[in-house]
Structure 1
Amino acid sequence: MRQVLLVVDVQSTFSPPEWLVDGLRVLSANIPTIASVELHDEQVTPFERQLGWHPAAQDDSLIEADQVFVKHGYGQSAEAIAYIRQLGVERVLVCGLQTDTCVLAAGFALFDAGLMPTLVTDMTVGSALDRSAKMGIALWQHHFGQVTTSAEVLADLAGERQG
C-alpha cells in the first residue's frame, strides 16, 4: 500500500514525551515521512491576542522527515496538502501532538482533500485537556473511521517487504 507518515508538530516548543519521539523515529525510518512545524506569526494567526500564548517563532521537527512544512495555526498548510496529494498515496498515517486539536485539524484537511487519513493511535498525545488522547481518538474514529497502531504499521511494512 502506498502511504506516507505525517508527523504533526513534534517539536521542542511543545515538549513531546521521549517515548513519542523514540517511537516516531522508528516509524519514520521505515516509511516516507512528512512533518509539520507550527511557528508563531501573529499577523497570520492571533495566538497571543486571542489565547495569551504562542508557539516559538523558530523551531524544528524532532523527527527526521523527507519534507518539513511550516504552519501557522492548527491546520496544515495548503502546500503540505498539495504535496501529499501529488504523492498519490492510498492513505496518510497521522500522528503527533494534540490529538484533539492540531492532529484532528490535519485529519479534516486531508479528508477534505480526498485523502484517507488514518490515525496512529499509540503515536499521539492529547492536549492539556486530555493528555491520554482518548477524546481525540474518539473524535477521529467518529469523523474518519480509520485508526491503526505503530505495531500494525510496522508489521504491514515487514509483510510487504517479504511478499
Structure 2
Amino acid sequence: MPRQALLVVDVQPSFDVPAHIVDAIKALARQIPSVATVERHDETVTPFDRQLGWKPGANDESLIAADRIFIKHGYLPPVAMIEHLKSLDIDRVLVCGIQSETCCLAAGFMLFDAGLQPTLLEWLSVGSSLDPSGALGARLWRHHFGPVLASAAELDLD
C-alpha cells in the first residue's frame, strides 16, 4: 500500500457541496492522514469581489474534520500545507473537493512541483459552475498529472 494522505479542497459552507460527497470525504478522512483548505475572503489579498463579483465567506470553516486545516486566499493552497504534506513522508496525495478544474487543479500543480504524486478522487470532487460534473477537471488532471481514481473501489487503503 502506498503511503498517502488526503487533501480536501474548500469543502465549506460557501460552496454547495452535495451531502453524500461530504459524508464520503468525512469517512475517508478518518482512515488516512488528512489536510483541508478553507477559502476565506480578504479583498486586500485576492480581488474576488472586485474582479469576479463574488466572494467566499470571511469566516467559513471546513465541513471536514481533517487532521490539519489550512486557510487560503485565492486559488493556490498555502506553502505551509505543502511543507506539512512533505513532512509526512508520503508517496501520493489523494485530492478531492470543490472546483476540480480550478482550485483542485491549482493544488495539483503545487503538489506535482513539490514532488508529491497528486491523485484526483473524481467521485469526491465537484466542478465549478462552468462544469458542475467535474469532468473538465478530471480531463485536465489526467493530462497534467495522470492519476485519476473514478471510485472508492480503486483506493488502496489496506
Query: Normalising to structure 2: TM-score of the pair?
Result: 0.96
Once the two structures are superposed, the pairs formed by residues 27-106 of structure 1 within 5 Å of their partners are: 27-106=28-107
Deviations 1:81-102 (A, max 9, x none): 1111111110000000000110
- In structure 2, C-alpha distance between the alignment counterparts of 1:84 and 1:72, rounded to whole Å: 19
The one-letter amino acid paired with 1:19 is H
Once the two structures are superposed, the pairs formed by residues 4-43 of structure 1 within 5 Å of their partners are: 4-43=5-44
| 1:35 Cα deviation after fit | 0.4
The one-letter amino acid paired with 1:130 is D
Are 2:153 and 1:151 aligned? yes
Deviations 1:40-70 (A, max 9, x none): 0111111111111111111111011000000
The one-letter amino acid paired with 1:140 is W
8 Å contact from structure 1 (residues 27, 150) kept in 2: no
The one-letter amino acid paired with 1:21 is V
- Point out the structure with the larger helix share: 1
8 Å contact from structure 1 (residues 12, 62) kept in 2: yes
The one-letter amino acid paired with 1:150 is A
| 1:15 Cα deviation after fit | 2.0
- In structure 2, C-alpha distance between the alignment counterparts of 1:96 and 1:141, rounded to whole Å: 16
Partner of 1:10, secondary structure, is coil
- In structure 2, C-alpha distance between the alignment counterparts of 1:52 and 1:121, rounded to whole Å: 28
The one-letter amino acid paired with 1:96 is G
Identity between Structure 1 and Structure 2 (%): 56
Question: Aligned-pair RMSD on alpha carbons?
Answer: 0.9
Partner of 1:118, secondary structure, is strand
Give 2:4's aligned residue.
3
